[in-house]
Structure 1
Amino acid sequence: MIKKEEMPLCDVATTVQLVGSKWKLLIIRDLISGPKRTSQLKRSLSGVSQKVLTESLSSMIEDGLVDRIDLKKVPPHVEYQLTPLGESFLPVIESMRQWGKYYKSQL
């Protein structure tokens, strides 16, 4: 997790630092509906490489936005879900969705 003293002074910059990549925003969007396996996320995120997906998930886990759940099955079964902190970002995602819809209607 980023230490408080390492965070930008600007609150918007802090948010961008945590979820500013296209892939992180789309991972949050996909996890809104519940836990997902890596393969489910990869299918949904058209164009993401396995490396970028893995790095994004690891970063989001480290930042406290996502939990990795090891279901201890054979074959190995891991899922990812939003933490309560990650779920607190949902109104931002919804605002982005609404603005995107509005923008498309203006074209």
Structure 2
Amino acid sequence: MVETIYGCKWSLTVYQLLANGINRPGEMVRNVEGLSTKVLNECLRKNLEFGILQRIEYAEVPPRVEYQVTAFGDKFLRILEQLEELQQELAK
């Protein structure tokens, strides 16, 4: 799981966007140069499958979809942060 998520260069970008309050797919694509809708959807799908993110659908016209980090996702992201800190220590 960690390899799949960490190996996808866009997952970390998506987590950063969510942390900054950007939780709608169209808004994500507009805020990140080089990120396509197709790649974003694949990334979001993987994160949904692992239970890191949840999809919230609103019954509105036009339809609105938002993503947010789950409780499990919060724990997972803390672990990723610790891995990043370890990597930085090794680089010293």
Instruction: Give the TM-score range, shorter chain.
Output: 0.7 to 0.9
* Equivalent residue number for residue 33 of structure 2: 46
- Shift in Å, 1:33: 3.6
Instruction: Give distance in 2, aligned partners of 1:43 and 1:31.
Output: 14
* Equivalent residue number for residue 79 of structure 1: 66
Q: Name the SS for the 2:67 alignment partner.
A: strand
State, as a whole percentage, how many aligned pairs show the same letter.
34
* Equivalent residue number for residue 7 of structure 2: 20
Under a length normalisation based on structure 1, what TM-score does the superposition of the two structures give? 0.67
Structure 1 residues 94 and 72: alpha-carbon distance in aligned structure 2, compared to 1, 3 A threshold = farther
The one-letter code of the counterpart of 1:41 is: M
Instruction: Quote the RMSD (CA, aligned, Å).
Output: 2.4
1:88 maps onto 2:75 in alignment: yes
The one-letter code of the counterpart of 1:74 is: V
Under a length normalisation based on structure 2, what TM-score does the superposition of the two structures give? 0.77
Per residue, is there more helix in 1 or in 2? 2
Task: Select the structure of larger CA radius of gyration.
Answer: 1
Q: Give CA-to-partner distance per residue, 1:56-85, whole Å, 9 cap, x none.
A: 101110110110100111110000111111
* Cα pair 1:32 1:90 within 8 Å, conserved: no
Structure 1 residues 34 and 50: alpha-carbon distance in aligned structure 2, compared to 1, 3 A threshold = same
Runs of 4+ residues deviating >4 angstroms: none
- Number of corresponding residues: 88
Structure 1 residues 66 and 56: alpha-carbon distance in aligned structure 2, compared to 1, 3 A threshold = same
Where relative contact order (Cα < 8 A, 6+ residues apart) is larger, the structure is 1
- Shift in Å, 1:88: 1.5
The one-letter code of the counterpart of 1:65 is: I
Q: Which runs of 5+ in 1 are unaligned?
A: 1-13
